[in-house]
Amino acid sequence: MERKVSIKDIARHLGVSTALVSYVLNNKAGRVSAEMAEKIRQAAAELHYRPNLIARSLQSGKTNTLGLIVADISNPFFSQIARIIEDEAKRSGYTVIFGSNDENVEKSQAILDAMLNRQVDALLIAPAEFTEPQLKALQEKHVPFVLIDRYFSDIQANCVRIDNYRAAYDAVEHLIKTGRSRIAMLAYDTGMQHIADRIGGYKDALRDNGIDFQASWLVRASYHHIEEEAATGMQQLLLPAPAVDAFFFATNSLAIQGIRQIMRMNIKVPDELAVISFDEADAFDFFYAPITYIRQSLDDIGRHAVRLALESIATSQPATPKEVIVDVRLIIRESTKNKTYATDQ
């Protein structure tokens, strides 16, 4: 096995002290000249130096790594947040390890265990359903974590999210203002609070505008059988002729499934059916009637999540949990257009 290059090797190569090399490679150059610092970094690269992270963590008590757990890293919503978190963490000298829980309790625990074994300094988590015990265990172990996008009402923890209820309420009210009065919703079949809030906003917007909610209007699909269950539920409302005049999709992944069904049924958007979605997706731009959607500021979510995580790492004693509510914006496009309501691109 090839011997690993050490700081002493670099110092000997350049004829300088090991302390000087250590200062530069640990980003503590201080009064070291820019020219000397560059020489040290160049020599480290040429000699293929790799820092001993285990030794460094034993010395400092930190690994300078964050663990990020999301539902599905391939989902554009989570992949974009992951990239923002990665870039934000890098600015503070941290590396991010990623994992997907696939909305599965057992996989969530396995990823948590793996990240804790790697001694991450803090976790950023978009939790799966029924994972409250896992989060409570983290609190008992005093492991810093921040919840992103999702939360549990019975767990007091650092959290960055949006006001899901208000966002859904405003989206449905927009549909009502465009003349729609038979508005259906496609949501995940889950007890997660953020989806419950979106359903609550949907129902209350109907009620407050004098529209009686019909139980058949709320279509649910499970995460693991999304395509077939979304298709069955939507077909019951749209075939042989549409029994509703609008569909509100609780997530962008549900919207993509819904648009696929609408195209298969040759239903015209927005003439026969208005469509609105939570979150954006590249596919929305390729649909002949670009989709109206609720835009979350992913930059703000990622930035605040990393900030709260680093604050937790720096605090020796557990602090009062902080909740950051990020603003949203309704982006109005062709899929909800009618003769009396102008679009706002």
Query: 151 Cβ partners below 8 Å, 6+ apart?
Result: 127, 157, 159, 161, 193, 194
Question: pLDDT tens across 47-70, in order?
Answer: 887 766 555 554 555 789 999 999
- 2 exposure class (CB count in 10 Å sphere: 0-12, 13-18, 19+): exposed
Domains and CATH numbers, the chain: 7-51 (no CATH), 62-162+298-326 (3.40.50.2300), 164-296+330-336 (3.40.50.2300)
DSSP assignment of 159-177 equals EEEE-HHHHHHHHHHHHHH
* Secondary structure, 3-state, 2-31: CCCCCHHHHHHHHCCCHHHHHHHHCCCCCC
Q: Show the beta-strand stretches assigned E in 154-237.
A: 158-162, 183-188, 218-221
Give the mean pLDDT of the chain: 90
Place of tokens 């309420």: 169
Amino acid at residue number 253: S
Strand partners, 248: 185, 276
Query: Given this model, what pLDDT does residue 115 score?
Result: 95
Query: Given this model, what pLDDT does residue 257 score?
Result: 94
Contact between 164 and 172 (Cβ < 8 Å): no
Amino acid at residue number 270: P
Question: pLDDT tens across 220-257, in order?
Answer: 999 999 999 999 999 999 999 999 999 999 999 999 99
Q: Tens place of pLDDT for every residue, the chain, 345 residues?
A: 456 778 888 888 888 888 888 878 776 656 678 888 888 888 888 888 776 655 555 455 578 999 999 999 888 899 999 999 999 999 999 999 999 999 999 999 999 999 999 999 999 999 999 999 999 999 999 999 999 999 999 999 999 999 999 999 999 999 999 999 999 999 999 999 999 999 999 999 999 999 999 999 999 999 999 999 999 999 999 999 999 999 999 999 999 999 999 999 999 999 999 999 999 888 888 899 999 999 999 999 999 999 999 999 988 666 789 999 999 999 999 999 974 444 443
Query: Given this model, what pLDDT does residue 343 score?
Result: 43
Query: Given this model, what pLDDT does residue 2 score?
Result: 57
Map residue 194 onto helix, strand or coil. helix
